[in-house]
Structure 1
Amino acid sequence: MRLLLLRHAKSDWGDQELADIDRPLNSRGKSAAITMARYLREQKLLPNVILCSTAQRTRETLARLMPHLPQEAHIELMSDLYWQSEDSYATLISKHGGRAQNVMVIGHNPATEDTALDLVGTSAPDVLSDLEEKYPTAALAVIDFDFSDWSELAPGTGHLERFVKPRDLQSEK
């Protein structure tokens, strides 16, 4: 089983009148979301289930991923991913992941970073230190597990397979 933890792409802070949940992506965020979408497709990191926050910036991130992902992915828009953005997402993943081979969560910090750090038990040292340093917008943690149902999800049971940031991919071009 594989968990893809994607933090939403960079949002626009230009309109101070907008509620936090209504902030859209800025131009850099739109570009980063497409960069990550292409990476997901090229690396065959294709989710069966996508759990996405209801915030505008997460939905816009998802919209830029969709043309690059399989059409049969089951998508759940979840307000709990926004409102619980100060907590770990593990309970929501455990409850909604079922037996999906690849689950993606598109959420917010600090919950995205905290969830990754909570679930990782093993990793290459440089990959873990990179994740611990900072979880920037549009960054992706890929965590593998050895179980057959997400209800078995527990702290420290995952292997951090990779941690990818849009700027890493743009520098490879």
Structure 2
Amino acid sequence: MKTLALFRHAKSDWSDARARDFDRPLNARGQRGARAMGEYIKSTNRKFDRMIASPAVRAAETVEEASKAWGCTFKVEWDRRIYLASSATLIDLLKELEGDPASVLMMGHNPSLEDLIFDLVPDDGASPLRDVVEQKFPTATFAVLELDVDRWCDMAEGCGRLVELKRPRDLDPSLGPSLID
């Protein structure tokens, strides 16, 4: 069995209309959300063998803020393919992992992370958390999937179970949707 954790970047700043999408930083709520999720991950005592992340500014800042709160000190592998990826691209990236780690944390973007959950977790009623993702996979959300494979290269549609899902608003209601930002 393999463990795949997915962490969507936190809320980004849209105040500069001229900024490239790739270069958008976190806004204040995003910084708070990333730290809160880092504290949550720390509280779960989960360990990851690898962390792969999009190098987009908002993803990198989410990693930085969450890592401070979490106390995570391992090396992040930045992979530009995660930015604007399809679910199929993310699956290919995971299948290519060297060293066959037992657990991987991927920091990325929607809709690819949400689509990855839909592709890996069957819509058979066995995973009620999948229904929550169908409603929305908000920024700074953390999800954990258990994959029924011995090697990453054996991943296929429907091989997973969504066993954990935590949204920022679950930790602090002020981190939920807002009309202001």
Whether the 8 Å CA contact 1:98–1:149 is kept in 2: the answer is: no
Could you tell me how far 1:147 is from its partner in structure 2?
A: 2.6
Choose 147-156 or 119-128, whichever is displaced more.
119-128
Distance 2:159 2:13 in 1: 36
Q: Which residue number corresponds to residue 20 of structure 1?
A: 21
Distance 1:15 1:43 in 2: 36
- Which of residues 135, 138, 141 is equivalent to 2:137? 135
**Match status 1:64 vs 2:80:** no
Whether the 8 Å CA contact 1:48–1:100 is kept in 2: the answer is: yes
Distance 1:6 1:97 in 2: 21
The letter of the residue matching 1:78 is D
**Match status 1:96 vs 2:126:** no
Whether the 8 Å CA contact 1:139–1:164 is kept in 2: the answer is: yes
Distance 1:85 1:159 in 2: 20
What is the correspondence of 1:67-146 to structure 2 with a 5 Å cutoff?
Answer: 67=68, 68-71=70-73, 73-84=74-85, 88-96=89-97, 98-121=99-122, 124-146=126-148
Distance 1:97 1:4 in 2: 17
1:100-141 superposed Cα distances (whole Å, 9 cap, x missing partner) = 121011111100100111111366553121011101101111
Could you tell me how far 1:150 is from its partner in structure 2?
A: 1.2
1:32-78 superposed Cα distances (whole Å, 9 cap, x missing partner) = 0011101111102232111100100000001112232443x342101
| Unaligned runs of at least 5 residues, structure 2 | 174-181
Equivalences, count: 170
Q: Which residue number corresponds to residue 159 of structure 1?
A: 161
| Unaligned runs of at least 5 residues, structure 1 | none
The letter of the residue matching 2:140 is A
Q: Structure 1 residues 166 and 17 mapped into 2: Cα distance closer, same or farther (>3 Å)?
A: same
* TM-score of the superposed pair, with normalisation by structure 1: 0.90
Whether the 8 Å CA contact 1:54–1:77 is kept in 2: the answer is: yes
Distance 1:115 1:128 in 2: 11
Whether the 8 Å CA contact 2:127–2:161 is kept in 1: the answer is: no
